[in-house]
Amino acid sequence: MALEIEIKVKVPSLDTIRDNLIRNGAELIADQDEHDLYYNAPHRDFAVTDEALRIRYLANQTCGKAMPPNVTYKGPKVGREGFKSREEIIVDLSSAEEYCLILERLGFYLTAEVIKHREIYQCRDAIVTLDNLPGVGTFSEIEASFSLTEDEAISVINRTAEMAGISGERLTKSYLEILLDSRNPKNTI
């Protein structure tokens, strides 16, 4: 179990951020298409409890170490303004399809699928992602190393954002929430 501390910013373009990362020595560690299947529970509504249960698998990976499918539990969001912090538990799977079948047999049901193209860059004490969600927009996330305290993580995130040129409103919504909002024009970001 770890506490994920990150920021997410909707950006008009990923090109300048990518250039800044490369110029400052960040290493591209993965370039992949991610499919995230979000499930809800039969006994409580994760939208109400602010939790998430996600199955992630890769559809295409052009660079980086092969990542097995995994299931992730994310607890309710906590943390300071503009920073998203939440408990995160990840378990690798041998078969995403069979795990989804188990969930469905137990009464869990698919809420949505989020598809994104993601480039992952390793910076000092942080990971920066450049994400393109078709039909939704382009985003960048900065996640601090799990080994840092909250204050250290916030400092690293702020320095990394400045170095990479990632600016704008920091969103605490998940990609699932952003996708669902994009489908409902009354709640757009």
pLDDT in tens, 106-144: 999 999 999 999 999 999 889 999 999 999 999 999 999
* Residue pLDDT, tens place only, 24-72: 999 999 999 999 999 999 999 999 999 999 999 998 777 767 788 999 9
Is pLDDT above 90 for 147? no
Residue 130's pLDDT is 98
Catalytic residue chosen out of the listed positions 38, 57, 99, 121: 38
**Angle formed by the axes of helices 150-164 and 15-23, nearest 10°:** 110
State the CATH architecture for 2-187.
Beta Barrel (2.40)
Is pLDDT above 70 for 23? yes
Average pLDDT, the chain: 91
Answer yes or no: are the C-beta atoms of 161 and 167 closer than 8 Å.
yes
- Beta strands at 2-11 and 84-92: parallel, antiparallel or unpaired: antiparallel
Where along the chain do its domains lie?
2-187
- The question of whether 109 is a catalytic residue gets the answer no
Helix%, strand%, coil% for the chain, nearest 5: 25, 45, 30
